[in-house]
Amino acid sequence: MTEKLMKFSEAIKRFDPVFGLEVHVELNTNTKLFCPAHYEFGGEPNTELTPVSLGLPGSLPVINRQAVIDGVRLGLALHCHVNEWSQFARKNYFYPDMPRDYQISQADKPTNGEGYLDVELEDGSTFRVPIERAHIEDDAGKNTHIGGADGRIEGADYSLVDYNRAGVPLVEIVTKPVTGAGEKVAEIAGAYVREIRDIARALNVSNGKLEQGNMRADVNVSLRESPDAPLGTRSETKNVNSFRGIEKTIVYEIRRQAAILADGGQVLQETRHWDEAMQTTAGGRLKSDANDYRYFPDPDLAMVHITPEQVEELRATLPEMPLHRKHRLQKEWGLSDFEMRDVINAGALDLIDQTVQAGATASGARKWWLGEIMRESNAREVSLEELPITPQDVAEVEKMIVGGKLNNKLAKQTVEAVLKGEGRPGDIVEKHGWKVMNDDSAIEKAVDDALAVNSDVAAELKAGNMKPIGVIIGAVMRATHGQADAKVVSGLIIKKTRV
Amino acid sequence: MSQKSELVTLTAEQMSAKLRSGEISARELTQAELDVIGAAEPSIQAFLARSSEEALAQADAVDKRRAKGEELPDLAGVPVAVKDMIVTKGIETTAASKILKGWIPPYDATVVARMKRVGMPILGKTNLDEFAQGSSTENSAFHPTFNPWDTTRVPGGSGGGSASAVASFESPLALGTDTGGSIRQPAAFTGTVGVKPTYGHVSRYGAIAMASSLDQVGPCARTVTDAAMLYDVIAGYDDHDSTSLPGKLPSMAAAAVKGARRDLKGLRIGIVKEATGDGFEPEVNASFNEGVELLEGMGAEVKEMSFPNFLHGIRVYYVIMPAEVSSNLARYDGMRYGLRVMPPAGVPQTAANMMACTREAGFGPEVKRRIILGTYALSAGKYDEWYGKAQRVRTVMIQDFAKAFRDIDVLVCPTAPTSAFKLGEIQDPATMYRNDIATIPANLAGLPALSIPSGLDGSGMPTGFQIMAAQRHDDTAFTVASALESAFTEKWGAPIWTKMKTPWLDSMPEE
């Protein structure tokens, strides 16, 4: 079924879009939220279990202290008010991936209350996303549907359940309805989720890998006639697990709802899902058929008490926030907005920062990571981090250049050797006996030889046409196995050909 | 009576002494109990499963350690029966429900692990109302249990199996669970002692949840001291249960020994006015009043106290309990363990339909009734009116008790309004629920409460005397109970169980 869509630019002209996001961030505690079962992505199905995570009769949950600490730190980074008393509640619904047939979440007493996050847009402006709450809950297991066309339950022959993920701690960050975004609605949503990812990684509370399910979002979208009108009926697109998917979901829903409203129709309050293959959202169940979750405080768990003193202790552990750090480094490194964007897009911010901290200049560090090393990472189709070269290596090479031990050509050879896995730069340089030639008489002799062999070029130079000087430099460099300093060589050539 | 019969009618305390002196071995004692179980079960039906081999192996292990000269805990080698609401590694655990039939737990409840560590042989799993929901053990999905005093009568419930096993000498000790009186009311009906500890004193880890904010595991025994000894084994902080209370507990056995001196001078006792008189059988009241006189005779100051909210307890209970039941019993869905019933042909073979068919076939009518009640009480738009309001009344009751315990040390009342009724006699659920009217308040307030026998009524059936203490003052309840037990026994000339006919013991063959 193809749905009628309105052009995005027209939809934005006619309607005011409002969105909301529920971002689930999987914490990277070693153990689950309510039992000491270990969890790691990709484990053999149903091996990372205890009586508690399998919900066996008689088993009881015990709160993982580290998960609460991580949750509070994430909340603080999102400027949330941390509630002194919070409470876990049971969210009751039957589903095969839910071992107890209730999820332990938080209802009216979440650990983190209201907050906000400022996100930066392409044009350099800042948009504040208001946050309603950031609560802690446990994840469900994972169903795999076999035999269906696209891995969905519809049409499947049978389904398999893996409970390894059941009980893994999540923080669910819920925005208030985000208004005033206008045509930048998708960009704001994408930037917001990326910023949360960066923060979660900076805090080291989550691996933040969307492709491994560390983060996913439920996307709510509604339209209204004007910013003064009451909120329209929203759709909720569940479990979108890529940044692009989140952005595209918002655009698609705006176009779909605008077409419905323009035809005088009504948007259904329903849950939908993002179909990556079709690049559309598809209808799920109507909200009116939805579960009544019958929340009530979990009698197995005491209330969580976090004193104002503990909040301040945790606040003191927060690292510099990613956006602040980005601005600081851009200034320190003297980069333009475009140059900084290239650094960010290359995923080289941390590597360059570490290289600078290891003693390299910012321009030197950036040149290597975005040049030689980036080419290698593209060729090998691996991330910069996965290459066998470290910020310390790059800094060492840079220091050898500055110290006159390597020229650019030797430095490039050295980096190539490190990338081939030959070892650390110092060892490589020593092993190959690479060094910049400082023996002026030897270089002078090589220059004389080169001028003699290439007498026609020498004649041109003497006639004042300096264009073919490269021929002589190249010959000298070959003769000196690249160890001569090219600047010294060209100086000598000029001196000798000047009449 | 045969030699074997003499052995099994000893108290756990006496058994412990004979084991320590070497007069008997743990194997002899365990075998004697297994023989009684064999002889008594046809007429009592207290057990759902027997674990004879495990019990004898555990007994042998104790004998071996004792032979090596090891210093062993008091109850090492003293057998125990376990209510089938508590999980036992490797021994089928069903909660008396078809939905768990055949389930072999891969882990031990904390209380079971503690008894095993002490060296108590586990004789088997005792019968109960399905998922501990009932007051007569007639709701067991498998079979009823009969009252050893009169096998045409119920043993009470839900822990009728544990109470009857102890009363009939099948076991000196048993574990029960008490959510609204499931240890104490059966104790009253079978002339035994049943203790519901302070909420949080005994770990619930491995006790199958009925209503988590009310459930508590406790001992069943024939004497107060025996119950106290078992209490000391199972109680204490457990980091597997978040509602477990930290801190070292005093010895309840020592508190019981202290009570046996029968000096209650200065002790302040309150009688719950609302739980005497109307609605309680005259003979129940009469034996209760005898108990009060005995307490006064030992120097206690007794006064009547009014708790206008006491009888609201049952209304509060029948909102909170089903609400928690509806959530706790959700996990029995056929996905992971226990019964699975596939939808009939022609019905889509989906997970949701399988869950529905499994639960339809697996749960009995009382369990379904409570799940429906609880689902309603928690549903959108009904929560404040039902669950929310019930929790507020519960808070008021807790405050009433806390205030009362500033002026008194213990509260007393009859354990149940009647003695044991006949099987099949009560059909109406609401009438059945009234059995727990005097026991429920202690669960709602988390108080320690116990029941001891207060005599026999005109039909020769035991009645129960309930003692409640302030939170964490379980030792006070034990001291008072022990004093009263001693006074009653002196008055009767012998322990109450000597009045019981035990044809299964008399007919036991000697080898």
Does some domain include residue A2? no
User: Do A56 and B337 make contact, defined as CB atoms within 8 angstroms?
Assistant: yes
Report d(CA A221, CA A257) in Å as an integer. 9
Q: B158 catalytic, yes or no?
A: yes
CA distances from A412 to A149, A285, A377, A405 (A): 51, 59, 16, 13
Structural domain contains residue A1: no
| B158 upstream amide cis, omega within 30 of 0 | yes
The lowest-confidence range among A7-11, A91-95, A436-440, B498-502 is A436-440
The answer on A150 and A206 residing in a single domain is: yes
The verdict on A269 and A387 lying in the same domain is no
Please judge whether B239 and A54 are an interchain contact, meaning their C-beta atoms are less than 8 angstroms apart.
no
**Predicted local distance difference test score (pLDDT) of residue A72:** 98
The mean pLDDT value for A278-284 works out to 83
Distance CA A59, CA B206 (A): 6
The pLDDT of residue A287 is above 70: no
Residue boundaries of the structural domains of chain B: 3-310+397-501, 311-383
Please count the helices (runs of H) and the strands (runs of E) in chain B: 18, 11
Which of A256, A282, A315 finishes a domain? A315
Q: Which of B110, B242, B375 to mutate to test binding with chain A, by most A CBs within 10 Å of its CB?
A: B242
**Residue A177 has which token pair?**
């309805």
Nearest Cβ partner for A294 among B86, B95, B375: B375
Cβ-defined contact of A101 to B240 (cutoff 8 Å): no
Residue B83 annotated in active site: yes
Q: DSSP string of B208-261?
A: PPSSTTT-EEEEEESSHHHHHHHHHHHBS--TT-TTPPPSPPPPHHHHHHHHTT
Give the whole-number percent of chain A exceeding pLDDT 70.
Answer: 96
Residues A147 and A18 in one domain: yes
Residues A129 and A79 in one domain: yes
B93 contacts A100? CB cut-off 8 A: no
Residue A96 C-alpha, separation from nearest chain B C-alpha, in angstroms: 7
Quick one: A476 and A343 in the same domain? no
Same domain, residue pair A190 and A147: yes
**Selected residues 63-122 of chain B with any CB under 8 Å from a CB in chain A:** 86-87, 93, 95, 100, 103, 105-107, 109
A436: pLDDT strictly greater than 80: no
Confidence of residue A122 (pLDDT cuts 50, 70, 90): confident
The full DSSP string for A118-135 is: EEE-TTS-EEEEEEEEEE
Q: What is the number of alpha carbons within 13 Å of residue A380 lying toward its C-beta? A: 15
Question: Does A499 have pLDDT greater than 70?
Answer: no
Give the nearest chain B residue to A297 (CA atoms): B324
**What's the confidence (pLDDT) of residue B1?**
47
Q: Which residues of chain B have pLDDT under 50?
A: 1
Residues of chain A neighbouring B330 (CB-CB closer than 8 A): 92, 94, 100-102
The pLDDT assigned to A291 comes to: 74
Identify the pLDDT of residue B2.
62
Is residue A3 situated within a structural domain? no
Name which of B220, B283, B291, B219 is nearest B416 in CA terms: B283
CATH code: domain of residue A487: 1.10.10
Out of B103, B106, B330, closest to residue A102 by CB: B330
Please give the tally of structural domains in chain A: 3
Same domain, A250 and A199: yes
Cα gap B93→B152, rounded to integer Å: 27
Q: How far apart are CA A357 and CA A352, in angstroms?
A: 8
The token pair at B27 is 């194997």
Report the pLDDT value the prediction gives residue A6, as an integer from 0 to 100.
96
> What band does A113 get if pLDDT is binned at 50, 70 and 90?
very high
Is A300 within 8 Å of B212 when comparing Cβ atoms? yes
The whole domain housing A425 covers 322-432
Q: Does the CB of B325 have a partner CB in chain A at under 8 Å?
A: no
More confident residue, A39 or A440: A39
Residue B235 near residue B248, CB atoms below 8 Å = no
Place of tokens 């910013």: A227
Contact list in A for residue B331 (CB cut-off 8 A) is 55, 57, 99-101
Nearest to B83 by CA among B220, B272, B185: B220
Same domain, yes or no, for A19 and A77?
yes
Measured between beta carbons, which residues in chain A are less than 8 angstroms from residue B380? 292, 294
* Residue where a domain terminates, one of A394, A415, A432: A432
B182 is catalytic: yes
Residue A301 lies in a domain: yes
- Residue pLDDT, tens place only, A204-221: 999 998 888 899 999 999
A129, A41: one domain: yes
**Homologous superfamily (CATH) for B3-310+397-501:** Amidase signature (AS) domain (3.90.1300.10)
Contact B455, B196 (CB under 8 A): no
Structural domain ending residue among the three candidates A407, A432, A457: A432
Interface predicted TM-score (ipTM) of this complex, two decimals: 0.95
Which of A33, A91, A285, A300 to probe the B interface (max B CBs under 10 A)? A300
Residue A1 has pLDDT above 60, yes or no: no
Question: Which residue in the block uniquely carries the two structure tokens 């007919």?
Answer: B507
Give me A65's structure tokens: 């202290």
- Cβ separation of B205 and A159 shorter than 8 Å? no
Pair (A40, A106) in one structural domain: yes
Average pLDDT of span A418-446: 85
Confirm whether pTM is higher than 0.95: no
CB neighbours of residue A301 within 10 Å: 20
| A131-187 per-position pLDDT tens digit | 999 999 999 999 888 886 666 677 788 889 999 999 999 999 999 999 999 999 999
Cβ-based neighbours of A299, under 8 Å, separated by 6 or more: B211, B212, B213, B243, B324
Tell me the pLDDT of chain A averaged across its residues. Answer: 91
Selection from B507, B268, B273, B264 nearest residue B405 by Cα = B268
